[in-house]
Structure 1
Amino acid sequence: MTKPSKNLPGDLLPVGLEDRLPKSAARITAAMRACLDTLGSHGYDRVRPPLLEFESALAARMEGVATRRTFRMVDPASLRTLALRSDITPQIGRIASTSLASAPRPLRLAYCGDTALIQASQLDPARERLQLGAELIGADTVEAAGEIVSLAIEALGAAGLTGISVDFTLPDLVDTLAARDGLEPGTIEAIRRELDTKDAGGLKQAGGSDYLPLLYATGPFEDALTKLREIDAGGVLATRLDGLEAIAARVGDTARITLDPTERHGFEYQSWFGFTIYADGVRGAAGRGGTYRIGGSEEAATGFTLYVDRLSEAAPQPETPRTVYLPTGHDTAKATELRADGSRTIAQLVEGEDPKALGCTHVLNGTDLSEL
């Protein structure tokens, strides 16, 4: 038996990166397949953008994308700066605006791929993520938002997750109310900052006393929506609140719904609607989504992202198929038949192998199977 090798210099992985060993990798793969199959069944065609792009293209297609968080390098061919993607959504925007600009709308696209960050947050130390999502491009309607939210919930359910809840938000809420009230830009930014920290005292000092009720218009959807309607003097939020109510009606009892109208974390480029999705056993958010505009074309879009490696931790371990040991000289036609029926096979390579130690559950003797 081969002796284990000693650790070599550099064997330790950088902070925020990790190997996924067989059981973890199996959960990730099963969750990814279940989610992609769900998206495909609703007419979302998968695309595969490249891992690297010109930095300027990534920054231009989505407002709020911070390329300073991405790994960058100079392309020796063009001498332009390349960026290793930290978010796939801007790439989908580029594809929709260029290669698929003439495709019929609404355009439904799905994707799944790795992303990387120079530095992660304290709440989520991972610097590499498997990002999966769907984008509905060319429709800025309540129906489109409802489809996207329902699809995200269905995808999580297909991956085996339970206890799903969705938290709605209105990313442009403060801007909409401030336009009504004629506030100065500096005051608007101060109000945003204090609402982010949920600081009632700071909000008063910033000149946002009229915005104090927003701090309490949170919680279970129906109660929070009622409070928001009471706050909405003049009705500038009426269409948005009606939209939230219609989206919630579509979700129905497939998920618990809450509302935090001033939440902005993770919604750097969303417009009137955003949502965060959670599930039992998943640390932090399982995904986020909402409405936005594609930079350059200004085309409306709605989409969501799921963090597959994170949510897979709460997904059930997929069943291991029957694994058949194939001794030297085995019947190759029978082995092919077994694989076609869904079995795994492991062929003998050297004398003295232990089929059980290799994970086998059966052995092929001639054309007969025997359980180990």
Structure 2
Amino acid sequence: MSTPVTRTQVPDGVRDRLPSEAAAMRRLSARLDNVFRAWGYREVSTPVIEYLEAVAAGAANWGRREDLYQFFDRKGRTLALRPDMTTPIARLMATRLADEPLPLRLSYFAPVFRHRELRAGATSEIWQAGVELVGAPGEAADAEVISLACAAVRAADLTGFRIGLGHVGVVEGLFESAGVDPQAAAVLKEAMVARDLVAFEQGVARAGLSGERAERLLALVHFHGSYAEAVARFGGVGGRVAEALQHLGRVLEVLEALGVAEQVNLDLGLVRSLGYYTGVVFEGYLPGIGAPVLGGGRYDNLVAEFGRPLAATGFALEVDRLLMAQEQQGALAAEPGLDAVIACPPGQEAAAMAWAARLRAQGLAVEVDLLGRTGEELAAYARARGAARVLRPGVPSIH
């Protein structure tokens, strides 16, 4: 039986934004857009609604179908709200942008939609800002998007930002060397995504792993050390693990040259819920925010799902978590107020509005009081709107 609702409610997982909140989001969007453009990234926009077949190209790799918002059009075709931005941008890159010279640098600021457990402030409408770098393989491209992530958070006037850096090849390679079957691997990855060490240890035991094989996997989820320590602990496994570690080493060298290596820590047990990643993966954290504010990595196979094999990497920032961090750190810029409120006595509406028009043409923000307020009542309204002054007909002031 469904829960009764009223016309004044909004669905679970979504929210209204009041003027000050909407203004804070707009200011953050402008800052991030300035950074993205400075690095050569051009903004794109994709439909909120996609055919399920297009969404499934990513969903098959990243999550459960029940996490999607699905419905039907009038022709009976199944549609879905986009659950991420990377998949529709991959579609765009393989189709309408197919003739563009590579590499493609694209950015976005948009909401995505997923059914999520609504706890600790989680929402189903998730505003994201992010970039995709397509057609550029290798450590230089990986380092570019990581460096850009640091620059974006810095532009939001936030401090204490750290990135956890891992590689799919380390995790997959250790699972292969330990003989973990695909079903057990899926269970272990789910525990790694949730950072549930107890569930991971139980999964290792249920998989029948023991001795050195089990010890390596347990060491993986606990590892937070230097690159030299990572090589010493896992480099002897060889194969995919050794190759992944070598790639991470080259990425770290580029990040050192770019001056952001001190913000990056190796997190070899990092597994992201979006399973289309094929190489470097990373998440970003800020003090006082109990969840990642950023996630990304390399996804070299996703664009091929739409018929165009291309290497690709990118990241997405969770806008509401950045806004929360700005509030905590006192980095929220004050909402710009009005320059003036113009008093409007009865019968003087046309003159007051013409005056307002002249002031706006000078670049000022003004509004006309349409309720005929006077005296302290008008002054109180002007203070509430953040107006610098009250203008009255016949009283000399700004022109």
Match of 2:373 in 1: 352
SS of the equivalent of 1:212 reads: helix
Question: Which aligned pairs between 1:232-251 and structure 2 lie closer than 5 A?
Answer: 232-233=235-236, 234=238, 235-250=242-257
Change over 3 Å in CA distance of 1:340–1:129 after alignment to 2? farther
Task: Supply the AA of the counterpart residue of 1:41.
Answer: A
User: For residue 163 of structure 1, what is the aligned residue in structure 2?
Assistant: 160
Q: Which residue of 1 aligns with 2:291?
A: 284
**1:170-249 matched pairs, under 5 angstroms:** 170-179=167-176, 184-185=181-182, 188-189=185-186, 192=189, 197-198=196-197, 199-200=200-201, 203=204, 206-207=208-209, 209-210=212-213, 212-213=215-216, 215-216=218-219, 223-230=225-232, 231-233=234-236, 234=238, 235-249=242-256
What is the aligned length?
361
* Residue pair 1:286, 1:306 contacting (<8 A) in 2 also: yes
Matched, 1:298 2:296: no
1:24 aligned partner: 21
Letter in 1 for 2:235: D
Shift of 1:117: 2.2
Residue 294 of structure 2 corresponds to residue 308 of structure 1: no
Q: Please give the alpha-carbon distance, in whole angstroms, between the structure 1 residues aligned to 2:181 and 2:372.
A: 81
- Which blocks of at least 5 consecutive residues in structure 2 are unaligned? none
Matched, 1:361 2:354: no
Q: TM-score, normalised by structure 1?
A: 0.85
Displacement of 1:23 in angstroms is 1.9
Identity %: 26
Task: Report the Cα distance in structure 2 between the residues aligned to 1:193 and 1:83, rounded to whole angstroms.
Answer: 24
Q: Which moved more, 1:225-234 or 1:189-198?
A: 189-198
Given that residues 275 and 288 in structure 1 are in contact (C-alpha distance below 8 angstroms), is that contact kept between their aligned partners in structure 2? yes
Cα deviations by residue, 1:242-293 (Å, 9 ceiling, x for unpaired): 2342354255347632222122143422111111111234341111010003
Q: Which residue of structure 1 lines up, in the alignment, with residue 47 of structure 2?
A: 50
Correspondence 1:252 to 2:249: no
CA gap of 1:284–1:340, structure 2 versus 1, over 3 A, is farther
**8 Å contact kept, 2:270–2:282:** no
Letter in 2 for 1:150: S
Contact 1:112 1:132 in 2 (8 A): yes
Unaligned segments of structure 1, at least 5 residues: 1-7
Q: Aligned in 2, Cα 1:96/1:317: closer, same or farther, shift over 3 Å?
A: same
Which structure shows the higher helix fraction?
Answer: 2
Q: Distance in 2 between matches of 1:108 and 1:130?
A: 20
Q: Does 1:326 align with 2:326?
A: no
CA distance in 2, matches of 1:307, 1:325: 37
Distance in 2, matches of 1:86 and 1:191, equals: 23
Find 2:71's aligned residue among 57, 70, 73. Answer: 73
Q: For 1:190 and 1:61, how far apart are their aligned partners in 2?
A: 20
Q: How much has 1:322 moved relative to structure 2?
A: 4.7
Distance in 2 (CA, whole Å) between partners of 1:298 and 1:124 is 38
User: TM-score, normalised on structure 2?
Assistant: 0.79
Which structure's residues are more often strand, by fraction? 1
Which whole-Å CA distance do the structure 2 matches of 1:28 and 1:175 have between them? Answer: 38
1:298, CA displacement in angstroms? 3.4
* 209-218 or 232-241, larger mean C-alpha shift: 209-218
Mean Cα deviation higher: 168-177 or 237-246: 237-246
**Is contact 2:137-2:312 (8 Å) kept?**
yes
Q: Mapping of 1:112-127 within 5 angstroms?
A: 112-120=109-117, 122=119, 125-127=122-124
Secondary structure in 2 aligned to 1:32?
helix
| Contact 2:171–2:269 (CA under 8 A) maintained in structure 1 | yes
Q: Write the distance in 1 (CA, Å) between the matches of 2:361 and 2:322.
A: 31
Of the structure 1 ranges 331-340 and 345-354, higher mean CA displacement relative to structure 2 is found in 331-340
Equivalent in the alignment of 1:317: 332
Asked if 2 retains the 8 angstrom alpha-carbon contact of 1:218 and 1:259, the reply is: no
Contact persistence 1:64–1:268 (CA under 8 A): yes
Measured at CA, do residues 200 and 162 of structure 1 come closer, stay the same or move farther in structure 2, by a change above 3 Å?
same
Match of residue 5 from structure 1: none
For residues 173-227 of structure 1, the C-alpha deviation after alignment (integer angstroms, 9 at most, x for no partner) is 2322344566654565566567664355753663253352454467897x33222
Q: Contact (CA 8 Å) 1:26, 1:317: kept in 2 or not?
A: no
With over 3 angstroms needed to count, the CA separation of the structure-2 counterparts of 1:368 and 1:144, relative to structure 1, is farther
Per-residue CA deviation, residues 6-36 of structure 1 (Å, 9 max, x unaligned), is: xx93313333222221222221111111111
Kindly state the Cα deviation for residue 333 of structure 1 after the two structures are TM-superposed: 7.2
Change (3 A) 1:129 1:363: same
Partner amino acid, structure 2, of 1:54: Y
